[in-house]
Structure 1
Amino acid sequence: MTTRDAGPREGPGPAPRQRHAGADHTRRHAAYPLALYVPAAVVYTVIFLIPTVTAFYFALTRWTLFDSEFVGLDNFRDFLAEQNLRVGFRNTLVYAVVTSGLKVVLGMGLGVLLTSKLRLRGFLRSVVFFPVLVSTVAVGITFSALLRPDTGLVDKALAVVGVSGPDWLGDAGTALLSVALVDVWKGVGLATVIYIAGILSIPQDYHQAVAVDGGSAWHRFRHVTLPLSRPATYSVIILSFIGGLRSFDLIWTMTRGGPGFTSDVIASIIYKQYQAGFFGLSTAGNVLLFVVVTVVVVPLNYYLGKRQVAL
């Protein structure tokens, strides 16, 4: 017998069977989450990626349902030359800032109120959230009737106390603000639910510590609730701002962008191009709106996320 046959090999590594078993175990655990990602990836590709790439292509064409003609950047130049685009862009930013700001303030206030020791708070939570469930078009039609001059319920209520209400939707100075307030009424319920979840997740030890130090309810709100509900504020701002920049259905239902073009937003300008049959031009507008939302929201998301981590 040679020295090579004297006994089993010794080495620092595991036996071959153990190495294969470990590799099989790793592959099994790696394949399981991958199988869960595949359906979501397919849905995301079909619903988002393919339409987005297709929209970028058709924005460079003059197209109908049956044919298309490549025109390069002409659609973008024509859309940017729209006479009311500057007004629409300004209105879009104003609408997004007003609606998101009011949803943050009112949502936090209602969230604090509805997490306090209040009777019927469960019922009140349902009442606050109910407008979120109502169709946006139905809300627009209802408030269009309520805000009619002289015959609307709002002006009649103001007349009882001796106040003459304006033409809420027919006056260039009040049309966009009126729609924004209706948007806040409809969407503040979702902001409130987010704040309720954020406030209830704050450990009670912090509130008790402030109470032991003799702090009032304002001190608890200022030093505990407000800073520790920052993640909820972050979510409300991002969701509301994106919704405001993409706003269309409520504005179109209530004012059609009027009077004139005074309440037009970017989305309503795009829709008017669709109505006129300029499909390539309106597709270019959609691409520009996508770029605007991305340029505004991505830095905002980074800034708010950075401040959230810093806490």
Structure 2
Amino acid sequence: MAAEVAMGSAAVARTQGSARRKTSVYPTWFFLPAAVIYGVLFLYPTVASLFFSMTRWTLFEANFIGLDNFVQFFREPFLVKGLTNTLIYAFVTSGLKVVIGLLLGVLLTSNIIGRGYLRAVIFFPVLVSTVGVGITFTVMMHPTQGVINETLALFGLPKPGWLTDPNLALLSVAFVDVWKGVGLATVIYIAGIVSIPQEYFEASTIDGANSWQNFWNITLPLARPATVTVVTLSLIGGLRSFDLIWAMTRGGPGFTSDVIASVIYKQYQAGFYGLSTAGNVVLFVMVAIIIVPLSIWFNRREVEQ
């Protein structure tokens, strides 16, 4: 009897094992196309960039020079300035998008007149071409003929050189970036806020809580997943920003509004392909160093809560 039971158990195990083998084939085959695409479009270019960043290369030859490109990168003052500007630009734009997006999200989920229209108006800049936005605001911020300074002059206020003053150029472009991108942050916050069960607000109101207490104790903590999404997307976008800065200032005046991406582009234009590739690697590492620990910390906090 025991032998029959053992044989039966072995048969069941073999059947289950063969079933697992049969069913495990399909996930593997479904995975392979994605793995091939990922390898061709991401892994291979990443490894190739790392190799070419350690060479002095042209379209026809490449001479290995080790880490000389990286040493030169951090010795050049304008390259280090671009690195600093990238960090400033990323944190300013992401911080403002979080704050303004959250406030607009709360406003546009309340009972106000024309709520649907206002949502469309705020989201509209996201759909507009970044280069088009840059050209438009370049005209509007003209120091003598721009509509912004002309309006300030009507009230007797000075006319700042928004894009010509070295102290204002980078921040001016950052504010335009916020104007264009805050609509997406607002939509994410709206989705996060409307997903909060209304029972929490009803119970809080019965307990005598006011609007500020509801916001601080209910909306802000429970909209945390939306905040994580906005912070992550905004930081990545800010660290990789190029098109708006190039359309408005081309890194000027001088190098005062240059970021890593614009410096890389200028190096390519000048024919320093190895140095510019090293800049790409530095940008990649910088994004990874900031975003990966931040994502791990956010996920850990979410699990703890």
For residues 9-20 of structure 1, what are the structure 2 equivalents within 5 Å? 9-12=3-6, 14=8, 18-20=12-14
**Matches of 2:32 and 2:112 in 1, distance apart?**
46
For residues 1-40 of structure 1, what are the structure 2 equivalents within 5 Å? 9-12=3-6, 14=8, 18-40=12-34
**Matches of 2:139 and 2:202 in 1, distance apart?**
49
The residue that corresponds to 1:71 in the other structure is 65
**Matches of 2:129 and 2:26 in 1, distance apart?**
40
Q: CA deviation at 1:109?
A: 0.7
Q: CA deviation at 1:158?
A: 1.6
1:235 aligns with 2:229: yes
SS at 1:14's partner residue?
helix
Further displaced range: 107-116 or 154-163: 154-163
SS at 1:69's partner residue?
strand
The residue that corresponds to 1:304 in the other structure is 298
Identity among equivalent pairs (%)? 58
Q: Is this contact kept in 1: 2:188–2:226, CA < 8 A? A: yes
The residue that corresponds to 1:128 in the other structure is 122
SS at 2:164's partner residue?
coil
SS at 1:62's partner residue?
strand
SS at 1:65's partner residue?
coil
- Choose which of 81, 101, 115 in structure 2 pairs with 1:107: 101
**Gapped regions of structure 2 (runs ≥ 5):** none
TM-score (norm 2): 0.94
Q: Is this contact kept in 1: 2:73–2:80, CA < 8 A? A: no
> 1:116 is matched by which residue type in structure 2?
S
Alpha-carbon displacement from aligned partner over 1:258-308 (angstroms, at most 9, x marks no partner): 111111112211111111001011001111111111122222222222222
- Choose which of 137, 154, 160 in structure 2 pairs with 1:166: 160
1:196 aligns with 2:190: yes
Q: Is this contact kept in 1: 2:143–2:162, CA < 8 A? A: yes
- Choose which of 168, 171, 174 in structure 2 pairs with 1:180: 174
**Matches of 2:155 and 2:30 in 1, distance apart?**
62
Alpha-carbon distance change, 24 to 119 in structure 1, aligned in 2, over 3 angstroms: farther
Further displaced range: 78-87 or 277-286: 78-87
1:207 aligns with 2:201: yes
**Matches of 1:24 and 1:199 in 2, distance apart?**
48
Q: CA deviation at 1:164?
A: 2.4
Alpha-carbon distance change, 30 to 77 in structure 1, aligned in 2, over 3 angstroms: same
1:276 aligns with 2:276: no
Q: CA deviation at 1:238?
A: 1.2
Alpha-carbon displacement from aligned partner over 1:37-80 (angstroms, at most 9, x marks no partner): 22222221111111000000111111111111111111111111
**Matches of 1:214 and 1:11 in 2, distance apart?**
68
> 1:267 is matched by which residue type in structure 2?
A
Alpha-carbon displacement from aligned partner over 1:196-234 (angstroms, at most 9, x marks no partner): 111111111211110111111111111100001111111
> 1:220 is matched by which residue type in structure 2?
N
Q: CA deviation at 1:13?
A: 5.5
What is the RMSD of the two structures over their aligned residues, measured on CA atoms? 1.8
**Matches of 1:13 and 1:96 in 2, distance apart?**
66
Q: CA deviation at 1:28?
A: 4.0
> 1:32 is matched by which residue type in structure 2?
Y
- Higher Rg: 1
The residue that corresponds to 2:216 in the other structure is 222
Q: Is this contact kept in 2: 1:234–1:305, CA < 8 A? A: no
The residue that corresponds to 1:43 in the other structure is 37
SS at 1:172's partner residue?
coil
Q: Is this contact kept in 1: 2:98–2:230, CA < 8 A? A: yes
Further displaced range: 177-186 or 294-303: 294-303
Which portions of structure 1, spanning 4 or more consecutive aligned residues, are displaced by more than 6 angstroms? none
Q: Is this contact kept in 1: 2:49–2:281, CA < 8 A? A: yes
SS at 2:95's partner residue?
helix
Alpha-carbon distance change, 24 to 121 in structure 1, aligned in 2, over 3 angstroms: farther
Alpha-carbon distance change, 95 to 24 in structure 1, aligned in 2, over 3 angstroms: same
**Gapped regions of structure 1 (runs ≥ 5):** 1-6
For residues 46-61 of structure 1, what are the structure 2 equivalents within 5 Å? 46-61=40-55
Q: CA deviation at 1:177?
A: 0.6
- Choose which of 131, 139, 142 in structure 2 pairs with 1:145: 139
**Matches of 2:27 and 2:185 in 1, distance apart?**
32
Alpha-carbon displacement from aligned partner over 1:227-252 (angstroms, at most 9, x marks no partner): 01111111111111111111111111
Alpha-carbon distance change, 15 to 186 in structure 1, aligned in 2, over 3 angstroms: same
TM-score (norm 1): 0.92
